[in-house]
Every structure is written in C-alpha cells, then in structure tokens.
C-alpha cells in the first residue's frame, strides 16, 4: 500500500503532462501550478505552526513527514528556476515565491532539501558561464557565499534551531567523523543492503523488500535512504540498469547537452538529483521522475523545451 500510495500521484502527474503535450498547452502552466500550489500549502503549514517556529521541524501534521514537506518545497523551487531561466516571464513573482518556499525548506529541517536548491542554482550559473572567463569569478563568489551561509546558519540561534544544527553535524561527519544518529543509521542501511544481497543480486528481493526485511533492526518499515542500494536490493542489477542507463548516456553527451539554455537548466536539476541519490530515494518521488523524464525527452528527441 505504501508503494501504491506513492506511485498514484506520479501516474496522475504523468497523465497531466501527457495531456498538456497532446493538446498543445504550454507546460509552463504546469510548473507555475507546482510553485503556486506548494506556496499556498507552505503558507498554511507556517500559519498553523506559527507558535512553534524555531522550536523544531515542521510539516508532519500536513504531509505525513517534515521530510516530505521539505522535499515538495524543494521541487517547487526547481520549478521556479525553470520558469525564471527558461520561460523568463513574471520573473519577480517566481523569485519571491522561491524565496518563500526556501523558508519552508528551512523550517522542515531537512538537510538534503536545504542544500539542493543552492547546488542547482550554482550549476545553472556554472554551466551558463562554462566557456566564459567569468567562470572563475562564479566559483570564487559561490564558495564565499556557501561558507558565509554556513557560518550564518550555525551562528544564528533561530536558523540554528531550524536546520543549522543538522547541517553542522553533516559537515562534522566529513571532517571529524563526528556523526549524528541520523547519519549513522543511514550508513547502517547501506551496509545492510549491500551485505544481504545474497544470491538475488540479479532480480533483487522484490518490491519494498528492504523495509520489510529490516523493520526489526530500525523498529519501523523504512527505505534505505539511498537510491542505489534500494534499487540493487529490491530490484537487483536488472532494475539498476533499467533505471540508470540513461544517466550514463546523459553524462557521456553532457558537452552537447549544455548548448541550449533549456538543457543546462534541466541538466543542473538532473545532476543534483543524481548526487542526491546517495542519501535519498528518487524512484518513488513523482516530481523527481517528472524532471528526469522531461530532461531525457528533451535530450533524446532533441525537442525544443519551450514548445514542449
């Protein structure tokens, strides 16, 4: 039932995009709907939790988990980037809404969704200036901005309560091997998945099998928080190749892909989602699948994204 509940929204999103394409409607309206719809949802969440701001993670009462709330805000920000950099209409509105949505990400307390929009924005600017002398300035100022933002988060009491503490623990795990419980648990998930492949590495153990098999370890049914190991354990090498072969194709042709504006914006989202697969599950996130599908549609068929 968990898998079905997660896939149903993906089916309806896919049908909406398919209908938009076949009827000649501008797909920008879909991304605008994602941004506005999620902005309204975030406003309701924030308004209803106004007395709790800065005291913990927020979002679970409305979305089943604060992580889910933060992820949806994050994907809505991706939609804002598409509307800003590709369609270039009502830019001020999408900038304001993306900033508000990023605040929604912060109060959700999710490290992944806090970092991903920043990485996407950096890559968009990086790819755009890849053949320009400005690239060194882009890297320099981005590094300064990231360091400055880090110190702001860890030294400001309000921001620290939102997400700064978790970001600090993440950096400490890389530098000092001083890990919090969440990171330790995720490492254990990866180790369990890889160590228990057994003789089923070709087709895997079956749908949702990691959650079923190791519920006794974590006290609950939970994904392995790693797209690679989740697919390998549940669907084996066959499932892994089916899901990831187009990623390899895209990276081999990245130079040609980045020639068009629509491509380097989508490529930035695509690269960040690929990196994020090491600590999240992508193949059950409808909006992630949508963005990846749009990228490959544009890449493999060489369509003009503005018309698509």
Q: What is the pLDDT of residues 34-80, one digit of tens each?
A: 888 889 888 888 887 776 666 667 776 667 678 888 888 999 999 99
| pTM of this structure | 0.79
Q: How far is CA 211 from the centre of its chain?
A: 21
Q: Is the pLDDT of residue 4 over 70?
A: no
Q: What is the pLDDT of residues 110-141, one digit of tens each?
A: 878 888 998 899 888 888 877 777 777 777 77
Confidence of residue 210 (pLDDT cuts 50, 70, 90): confident
Cβ–Cβ under 8 Å, residues 124 and 83 = no
pLDDT at 98: 93
C-alpha distances in angstroms, 287 versus 14, 81, 129, 304?
Answer: 9, 14, 28, 21
CA–CA dist 3, 103 (Å, integer): 29
Which of 39-43, 174-178, 183-187: highest mean pLDDT?
39-43
pLDDT at 164: 64
């Amino acid at each position: 039932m968990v898998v079905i509940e997660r896939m149903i929204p993906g089916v309806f999103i896919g049908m909406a995009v398919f209908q938009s394409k076949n009827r000649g409607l501008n797909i920008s309206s879909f991304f605008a709907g994602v941004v506005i719809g999620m902005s309204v949802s975030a406003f309701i969440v924030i308004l209803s939790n106004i007395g709790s701001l800065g005291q913990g993670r927020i979002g679970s009462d409305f979305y089943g988990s604060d992580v889910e709330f933060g992820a949806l805000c994050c994907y809505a920000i991706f939609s804002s980037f598409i509307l800003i950099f590709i369609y270039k209409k009502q830019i001020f509105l999408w900038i304001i809404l993306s900033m508000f949505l990023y605040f929604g990400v912060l109060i959700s307390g999710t490290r992944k969704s806090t970092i991903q929009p920043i990485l996407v924005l950096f890559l968009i600017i990086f790819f755009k200036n890849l053949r320009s002398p400005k690239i060194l300035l882009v890297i320099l100022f981005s590094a300064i901005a990231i360091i400055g933002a880090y110190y702001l988060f860890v030294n400001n009491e309000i921001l620290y309560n939102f997400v700064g503490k978790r970001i600090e623990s993440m950096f400490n795990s890389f530098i000092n091997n001083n890990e919090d419980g969440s990171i330790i648990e995720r490492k254990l998930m990866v180790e369990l998945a890889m160590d228990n492949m057994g003789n089923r590495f070709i087709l895997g153990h079956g749908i949702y099998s990691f959650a079923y098999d190791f519920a006794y370890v974590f006290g609950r049914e939970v994904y392995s928080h790693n797209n690679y190991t989740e697919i390998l354990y549940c669907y084996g090498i066959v499932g892994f190749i089916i899901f990831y072969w187009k990623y390899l194709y895209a990276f081999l042709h990245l130079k040609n892909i980045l020639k068009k504006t629509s491509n380097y914006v989508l490529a930035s989202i695509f690269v960040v989602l690929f990196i994020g697969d090491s600590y999240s599950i992508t193949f059950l996130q409808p909006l992630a699948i949508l963005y990846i599908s749009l990228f490959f549609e544009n890449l493999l068929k060489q369509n003009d994204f503005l018309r698509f």
